[in-house]
Amino acid sequence: ENLSVNLKVIGLSQMALSDERHLRLCSPTSTTAVINFLSGTSELSPIEFANSVVDSAFDIYGNWILNTAQASHVLGKSWHCFVARLSTFNQIIDQLMKGYPVVVSVRGPLKGSALPYDSGHLLVVTGYDAKNQEVFCMDPAFPADDLTHVKYPVNEFLTAWSRRQGVAYIFNQ
């Protein structure tokens, strides 16, 4: 099967953000990139989004529930955004085929990644190339917006994603 899909999500680097919290903003940055893609704009800033999803009890910006609830709020009533634990990669492919990028949580080494992701990291799955066995991602850990579009070998991606038990942010209309 030569399935290939690659959604044109604009690259956003959390590292390029002029904010001292940038190292901690992978979830808001990834979610902002998806919101901007789905809404057809680039108006929402990751900093603005991060300020609306801070979990002050734990001093984090990666609270999955807060990020997806705020995404639903920003996108509007016709959108449903939620956290899911997916059991197969085909569930991601199904979303991509509908035109919906998927934010996923990964942990640990990932060949070609910007950092080791020892404590977890969120990035956007934008596509898949079955022929070359590659997952297309917008990974906000790279140092500049134009460096965030990367391809990870599917087996490496699946291993890193499984370390987070298949966590994904799902966006549906």
Predicted pLDDT at 156? 96
What is the mean pLDDT of the segment spanning 155-163?
98
Predicted pLDDT at 3? 87
Predicted pLDDT at 170? 98
By the 8 A CB rule, do 88 and 106 touch? Answer: no
SS3 (DSSP) at 157: helix
22-39 per-position pLDDT tens digit = 999 999 999 999 999 999
* CA distances from residue 27 to 1, 2, 158 in whole angstroms, order as listed: 32, 31, 19
Predicted pLDDT at 1? 62
By the 8 A CB rule, do 128 and 136 touch? Answer: yes
- What is the pLDDT confidence band of residue 60, given thresholds at 50, 70 and 90? confident
By the 8 A CB rule, do 116 and 108 touch? Answer: yes
* CA distances from residue 86 to 7, 32, 91, 145, 164 in whole angstroms, order as listed: 20, 21, 7, 28, 10
What is the mean pLDDT of the segment spanning 17-25?
94
Q: Is residue 143 predicted with pLDDT exceeding 90?
A: yes
What is the chain's mean pLDDT, rounded?
96
Tokens of 114: 């910007």
88-123 per-position pLDDT tens digit = 999 999 999 999 999 999 999 999 999 999 999 999
Q: Is residue 152 predicted with pLDDT exceeding 80?
A: yes
What is the mean pLDDT of the segment spanning 44-57?
95
Predicted pLDDT at 148? 98
